[in-house]
Each structure stands twice: as C-alpha cells, then as structure tokens.
A and B are shown apart, each in its own frame.
Chain A
Amino acid sequence: GEDVEQSLFLSVREGDSSVINCTYTDSSSTYLYWYKQEPGAGLQLLTYIFSNMDMKQDQRLTVLLNKKDKHLSLRIADTQTGDSAIYFCAESSYSSASKIIFGSGTRLSIRP
C-alpha cells in the first residue's frame, strides 16, 4: 500500500540550512507536499510539487524530487528559531485524488 517515511528528529544550528528527507512508495503519486505543524496549531501547507517536476524553490524553501528513487527533500535556508516545528511529508495520487497520505513527521529543533 501507500507509505510515506521520514526521520523523526533533526537538530540544526540557527543560521544553517536544514534538510528534511522523505521517501514514498506510491509510484502513481501526483502531488508531493510539505506541511508544517507548530504546537497547538493546525497544519500549514508550506509547498507542494507536481511529480513531473524535479525542483521547486520558494524563498527560503527548496524542494527536490527524485522520482526514480521516490525521494523528496525540503531544504530550509538560514534556519531560524521560528522554523521549529514538525514537518510532514505527504503525497496524493490521481487514483485517489481526495486523500493525502502523510508521513509521521520530522521534528526540527533549532539550537543557538
């Protein structure tokens, strides 16, 4: 079945770049997403990429997609304390366009 996996924790120094990695199994994935969840808040859609793209950049965020290896990454440049949150990788496909399959989330912590 569909599965999305990501590491549970990442710690980076303030000002460095953060790279959060994700792998997925559904070869028919059409959209791949990164969501951010802060304590007590809902999920915030950060960015998404179509499966026919290999890169998308949006200000400090860079998404890289390796469709052959089913690997997605999110790079956050110049990481700030406000970037501390849980980041969820997710995917959806045309076969079931209504639902998004989420990973378990990567908790990003920033150290001074």
Chain B
Amino acid sequence: DTGVSQNPRHKITKRGQNVTFRCDPISEHNRLYWYRQTLGQGPEFLTYFQNEAQLEKSRLLSDRFSAERPKGSFSTLEIQRTEQGDSAMYLCASSPSSPGQYGEQYFGPGTRLTVT
C-alpha cells in the first residue's frame, strides 16, 4: 500500500455541472476525511467518516455537496450544480483509530477542480 490515492487528479468542468471525486484511503485506516484547500490557504475541514458512518460535517459543506463511504473503504465526494467558488483542491486524508494514533492524518495528492 503506497498511501492515500485520489482520482481524478484534475477536473475541469463548466458551471452548473455535477462532479464526483474518489478517495481510496490507506487500507487499514478506518477514518477518512475530506478537506478543501484554496490558493494561499491551508486546508479546511469538510467532513469525516468512521468506517461507513459520516460523523461530522462542516458548515462549509453546503447542500450541493454530498459524501459517501458505502462499504467503509473508498469514499466519493459529489458536488452538484458546481459554481466558480467551488474551484479548489479537494484533499482526502485517512487515519488509524488506535489509541494515541488518531491524530495522524495522512493526505492524498488531491483533486484540483476548476469550474469555468
């Protein structure tokens, strides 16, 4: 296992279209996170899964955003009716949940979304 992977790496879409991103976490990690990073800023938390359960959602996650992790392995993040303000890097991270280790989140390379 070489780490967290994300697909696609780049996505260009027109405003109003729907997009879906995929994240494959490190195989033994049962926690999965989505973040968004805009230019010149640090990542901002969007949502978090423990196995297949979505346990926390940020206020940043509007109704147009939905995330799933149906089998507790990979996750998808869908954005409906994209807007130009959605242009950002979408980062996925995973972590183990062993005591003392939950703080270690390992990030994937991200999916860069450009909405034209």
Chain A contacts to B: CB under 8 angstroms: 4, 30-31, 33, 35, 40-45, 48, 88, 90, 92, 96-105
Contacts and interface: CB of A to CB of B under 8 A. Distances in A.
B45 A100 contact: yes
A101 B58 CA distance: 12
B109 A41 contact: yes
Nearest to B97: A97
A102 B110 contact: no
Contacts of A35: 107
B42 A42 contact: no
B45 A31 contact: no
User: Which 5 residue pairs across A and B have the least CB separation, nearest first?
Assistant: A102-B42, A99-B45, A31-B103, A43-B107, A98-B48
Interface in B48-71: 48, 55-56, 58
Q: Which of A33, A43, A102 has the most CB of B within 10 A?
A: A43
Interface string B75-116: 000000000000000010100000000111111111000000
B72 interface: no
Given A42-B108, A105-B42, 9 more contacts: A31-B103, A41-B109, A45-B105, A88-B43, A92-B103, A98-B56, A99-B48, A99-B56, A104-B40
Nearest to B49: A98
A100 B109 contact: no
A43 B49 CA distance: 19
